[in-house]
Amino acid sequence: MLIWIVLAVVLLPLVALALAVRPVLARLPQLRRAAVALQRRATEAEALRETAEALQQRAEGVQRQLDTAQQRLAVIKAKRG
């Protein structure tokens, strides 16, 4: 009788654990695909961030050129009139 009680105390939690872990193990392939997709998106986001920074620097350079051109135009207009 004692053996049955010990087996029940040991085996029932193991069965419960196996039943709890089973759905997680069944979803592992989905989770792996999701992780790969997220990694790909992160890589794309990093590339886009670098492109955005380069465009920002270029826009700042163009803005400086525009400011210089406007100053020169103002000087030319002031000399003429």
Residue type (1 letter), 8: A
Predicted confidence at residue 1, as pLDDT, reads: 84
Predicted confidence at residue 7, as pLDDT, reads: 81
The pTM (predicted TM-score) of the whole model is: 0.57
Predicted confidence at residue 4, as pLDDT, reads: 84
Predicted confidence at residue 40, as pLDDT, reads: 98
pLDDT by residue for the chain (81 residues), tens only, comes to 888 888 888 888 999 999 999 998 999 999 999 999 999 999 999 999 999 999 999 999 999 999 999 999 999 999 887
Which 3 state secondary structure label does DSSP give 71? helix
Torsion of Cα atoms, 16 then 18 then 23 then 24, to 10°: 120
Residue type (1 letter), 6: V
Predicted confidence at residue 10, as pLDDT, reads: 86
Q: Where are the alpha helices (DSSP H) in the chain?
A: 2-26, 28-80
Predicted confidence at residue 81, as pLDDT, reads: 73
